[in-house]
């Protein structure tokens, strides 16, 4: 097999640095185009009402794609130049192109969603469609749908279990999950790009550690994507950090989620990758009652800005007490008892209303520490992201054998 491909990795790193500079300069350059195209938003957590360009993920995404397009032949150059490989590594080449196709399609559909304001059910459909090339490439390249059963279940299921088509469902769902998980842990300046940077850094660290392992090629493959992703997102975060001069848009969440899903699936470490998503998972579980509308879900669930103190407070969902279903009442009672939700009752024009805080991780943090400035909150949530990653550094080696 190959030794460590130092030169391709170096070229990839240089390309990534170029990408950082390109993203940094292109974002301000296109500001007016976005505003003219009505692609802007108002920062609800500021007093100023100036228009802020949206969907800037399309710029960092396009730069990412161009860099990787130029990079396509690089990992395979040694086969032409020095005839150093026994046979052309077609599988790796196809995996590379197929991954770019899935990511490119996702950025495209994500940008279309930002422009056309598609409905919620489309947010589940779009990542599924964009992950089709990934599934097809996996089918044609590997076709392996057998997993190693975790130790506790081996008595029941045996050592290996062929999931068959369920494996493909899992892969498809992975893209849907990653994109939307990042999308709903949002609402304060710099959070979407910031959390993605932390996850990317975690994956890169994991990849580097595993370079000494048995699956070196998988991790090199992952690095080829994660390094440019990290640096283009860094360029984006430079403009998106508090106070944001640009917003990343759903485009970025789609782009990030798909890139993570791609490296997780074709790098064969999706379970480890999901471990880096713990805060997103917690936020998702906490949000479930509202996502399924068991508890009413308003249009925006971001924290509420108090212009007087300049701090962010919990935002609430207010609804008629009568309109709540039995299941909703039960969930609210349990949550209140476990003290994970703040519930208030009030009378408004002879009608009894219930208010509960919007069930997001951001609101929960505010519940714990009290009203806080926006930047403090973002840093705190990013620290939570980092804290959840640190134990994983030693995690994979403690897990048995197969890195699925």
Residues of this chain that bind a second copy (CB under 8 A)? 30, 33-34, 36-39, 58, 62, 65-66, 69-70, 72-73, 76, 80, 88, 90, 93-94, 97-98, 100-101, 104-105, 107-109, 111-112, 115-118, 129, 132-133, 136-137, 139-140, 143
Cβ 323 to a second copy shortest distance, Å = 29
DSSP 269: -
The DSSP element (H or E) to which 229 belongs, if any, is: helix 216-240
Minimum distance, C-beta of residue 247 to a second copy, in the bound complex (Å): 15
Nearer to a second copy, 126 or 341 (CB): 126
Q: Give the Cα separation of 280 and 275 in Å (integer).
A: 10
Least separation in angstroms between residue 56's CB and a second copy is: 12
CB of 294 to a second copy, least distance (A): 29
Selection from 137, 130, 123, 140 nearest residue 102 by Cα:
130
Q: Which helix (H) or strand (E) holds 157?
A: helix 154-157
The full DSSP string for 163-212 is: -THHHHHHHHHHHHHHHHHHHHS--STTHHHHHHHHHHHHHHHHHHHHTT
CB nearer to a second copy: pick between 108 and 206: 108
Q: Decide whether 64 or 276 has the Cβ nearer to a second copy.
A: 64
Cβ proximity to a second copy, 43 vs 114, nearer residue: 114
Please name the helix (run of DSSP H) or strand (run of DSSP E) that holds residue 113, with its range, or none.
helix 90-116
Return the number of the residue (35 or 209) whose C-beta is nearest a second copy.
35
* Closest separation in Å from C-beta 18 to a second copy: 14
Phi, psi of 142 (to 5 degrees): -115, -55
- Closest approach of Cβ 377 to a second copy, in Å? 32
Q: Which is nearer to a second copy, 135 or 356 (CB)?
A: 135
To the nearest whole angstrom, how small is the minimum distance from the Cβ of residue 15 to a second copy? 13
**Least distance to a second copy from the beta carbon of 193, Å?**
20
Calculate the alpha carbon distances from 152 to 155, 157, 399, 400 in Å: 7, 10, 12, 12
Alpha carbon dihedral 269, 194, 108, 61, in 10-degree steps, equals: -90
Name the residue nearer to a second copy (CB basis): 93 or 319. 93
CB atoms within 10 A of CB 59: 26
Rank residues 103 and 273 by Cβ distance to a second copy and give the closer one: 103
Q: Which two tokens stand for residue 42?
A: 């108002």
Place of tokens 């840093």: 379
Residues 6+ apart with CB under 8 A from 257: 106, 127, 175, 177, 178, 179, 180, 181, 182, 183
């Amino acid at each position: 097999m190959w030794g460590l491909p130092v030169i391709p990795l170096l070229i990839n790193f240089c390309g990534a640095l170029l990408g950082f500079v390109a993203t940094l300069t292109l974002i301000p350059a296109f500001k007016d185009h976005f505003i003219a195209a009505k692609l802007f938003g108002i920062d609800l957590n500021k007093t100023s009402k100036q228009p802020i360009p949206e969907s800037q993920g399309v710029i960092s995404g396009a730069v990412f794609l161009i860099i990787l397009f130029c990079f396509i032949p690089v990992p395979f150059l040694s086969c032409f130049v020095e005839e150093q490989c026994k046979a052309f590594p077609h599988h790796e080449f196809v995996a590379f192109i197929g991954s770019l196709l899935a990511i490119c399609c996702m950025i495209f559909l994500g940008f279309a969603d930002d422009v056309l304001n598609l409905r919620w059910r489309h947010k589940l459909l779009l990542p599924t469609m964009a992950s089709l090339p990934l599934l097809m490439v996996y089918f044609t390249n590997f076709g392996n749908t057998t997993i190693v059963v975790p130790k506790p279940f081996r008595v029941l299921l045996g050592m290996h279990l062929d999931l068959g088509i369920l494996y493909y469902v899992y892969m498809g769902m992975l893209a849907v999950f990653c994109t939307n998980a990042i999308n709903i842990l949002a609402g304060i300046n710099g959070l979407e790009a910031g959390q993605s940077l932390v996850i990317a850094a975690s994956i890169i660290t994991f990849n580097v550690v595993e370079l000494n392992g048995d699956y070196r090629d998988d991790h090199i493959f992952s690095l080829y994507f994660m390094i440019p992703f990290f640096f283009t997102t860094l360029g984006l975060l430079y403009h998106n950090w508090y106070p944001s001069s640009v917003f990343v848009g759903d485009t970025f969440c789609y782009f990030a989620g798909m890139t993570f899903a791609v490296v997780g699936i074709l790098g064969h470490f999706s379970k480890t990758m999901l471990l880096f998503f713990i805060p997103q998972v917690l936020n998702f579980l906490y949000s479930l009652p509202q996502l399924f509308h068991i508890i009413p879900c308003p249009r925006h669930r971001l924290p509420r800005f108090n212009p007087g103190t300049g701090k962010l407070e919990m935002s609430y969902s207010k609804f008629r007490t009568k309109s709540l279903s039995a299941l909703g009442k039960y969930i609210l009672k349990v949550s209140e008892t476990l003290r994970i939700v703040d519930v208030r009752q009030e009378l408004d024009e002879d009608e009894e209303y219930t208010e509960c805080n919007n069930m997001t991780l951001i609101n929960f943090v505010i519940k714990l520490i009290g009203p806080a400035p926006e930047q403090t909150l973002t840093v705190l949530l990013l620290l939570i992201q980092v804290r959840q990653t640190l134990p994983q550094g030693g995690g994979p080696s403690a897990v048995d054998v197969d890195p699925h």
